[in-house]
Amino acid sequence: MANKAQHGTKEEPFMSAAVRNHAIKAKLGRALSLTALCLGYFMVLLDTTILNVALPTIEHKMGGALHGLQWVVNGYALVFASLLLSGGVLGDRLGAKRVYLAGLAVFTIASLLCGLAPTLDVLITARVIQGFGAAMMVPGSLSLIRQAYSDPQDRARAVGIWAGVAAIGFASGPLIGGYLVEILGWRSIFFINIPPGILAVALTRRFVPKMVPNRQQGFNLGGQILAIVALCALTYALIESGRSGWGAPPIIVALLIFVVAAALFIVVEYWSYSPMLPLQLFAKPSFSVANTVGLFFSFGLYGQIFILSLFLQNVRGYSATAAGLAFLPLSVASAVTPPLSGWLTGRIGPQLPMIIGLASSGVGVLVLVSIGTSTSYTILVIGFVLLGIGAGVTVPAMTATILWSVPKEQSGIASAVLNSSRQVGGVLGVALLGSLVSQHSFTTGMYIGQIIVAVIFLFSCILTFLYVPRRMLHHS
């Protein structure tokens, strides 16, 4: 008995040490898995804004008027938005990890092609390929986070980190881009994606667990084609209207194609046995409103950054580096607030954080309406800080609302719908605000666009108050 007792006392510390080591390895593996998923989304959003401060340089080196620069931005965003639903469906059907890895590889290779592009047309084509990779990547990253964190508070915190890292990429794009353009040239803004892309592939292969595919998820080719046609037609009309006018025959035809394709898309998805976009998801008010707010918010944010980047350089005469530095308050504010938003959302629900974020953004844009050629930089700082706080607080709460609104098996398509809504909003924001500055003097068009954006942000506050519950029920 003594020997047995002695044996037991020696074995217990050994077992506890083994358990501790296993727990440490599990936490490290989860952290590295989250790092891999954050890196992918970081690159996607960095690429969304890093290009803006390089646009005047690209225009000087390669030629092309404002509408050409809009296509450099929207060639990427349009394909990204159009194929996000397919990315979500493929992730659910084939496995989110496999599709995420494929998207990472395509995005990294396309970044290299962008940096080597000899002409504007080739650059636009390479940006289209980048958009394809991003569309495969983003739904999978959020779906894999949804799988890894079953507890709502843990998931909200993870989403907060994911959104925070992405916000750093989005907000620091102008600053990083400004330095790279002046020191290494505009091509370096694409080459910078290659090291993190390779690292993300390695970490994903090693640490991200596989997700069980859902073979029942449909892939509706007809619906996908109609979605692409509708978005392309609308974007073409918005961009080219600034040059041709709304009454030009090509613009009228493009708008008619958009209306017909969008209507047919809804009909096809409604009657399809295996729809690409399950329309019943929109029966939940929280899901519908979160997607609507996502579209509105990206419309304003992407459009503002696009226009203000050109304003600072072409109107106020800033260098690329100075323009990037001017966005630093927005970068810092949007980078530090997402983890706080994720924590707050986990404790009190998403409604209040979304309202705070949207109100902050709306007030920030109203502040920016007052800027001119000689406005004090202090006014810019105030507007940028409020806009950055709004971005950092709104996105995690909005994302958590989507994930809490659907069962786990539909998280891939749900996250794809949200990101598609946001990217469509970004495409429309760049197209419409770019059209406004083309049709009027630059500052007049910018002011009109800012007032529209401010109204949309404040209207989104009302929608959130009315339809997003204070607390969300958890789906297992």
Domain assignment of residue 78, yes or no:
yes
d(CA 140, CA 468): 25
d(CA 437, CA 448): 9
CATH at residue 309:
1.20.1250.20
Domain assignment of residue 449, yes or no:
yes
Quick one: average pLDDT of 321-329?
Answer: 85
Among candidate residues 275, 293, 311, the one where a domain is terminated:
275
Question: pLDDT by residue (tens digit) across 3-37?
Answer: 544 444 444 444 566 666 666 766 777 778 888 88
Question: Same structural domain for residues 335 and 385?
Answer: yes
Check if the beta carbon of residue 103 is closer than 8 Å to that of residue 133: yes
- In the chain the first and final C-alpha atoms are separated, in Å, by 48
Question: pLDDT by residue (tens digit) across 84-100?
Answer: 777 777 877 788 888 89
Q: How many domains does the chain have?
A: 2
Using DSSP, state whether 83 is helix, strand or coil: helix
Question: Same structural domain for residues 54 and 194?
Answer: yes
Domain assignment of residue 144, yes or no:
yes
Domain assignment of residue 263, yes or no:
yes
Question: Same structural domain for residues 201 and 310?
Answer: yes
User: Does 164 have pLDDT greater than 80?
Assistant: no
Specify the residue for token string 């990253």: 141
Structural domain of residue 412, as residue ranges?
34-219+276-467
Question: pLDDT by residue (tens digit) across 284-321?
Answer: 888 999 999 999 999 998 888 888 888 888 888 888 88
Question: Same structural domain for residues 167 and 66?
Answer: yes
Find all residues with CB under 8 Å of 406, minimum gap 6, and list them: 281, 284, 287, 414, 475
Show the tokens assigned to 285. Answer: 């008010």
Question: Same structural domain for residues 132 and 262?
Answer: no
Within 10 Å of residue 8's Cβ, how many Cβ atoms? 9
Question: pLDDT by residue (tens digit) across 416-471?
Answer: 788 778 878 887 888 888 888 877 788 888 999 999 999 999 999 999 999 888 87
Check if the beta carbon of residue 156 is closer than 8 Å to that of residue 342: yes
Q: What local confidence, expressed as pLDDT, does residue 110 receive? A: 95
Among candidate residues 252, 275, 298, the one where a domain is terminated:
275
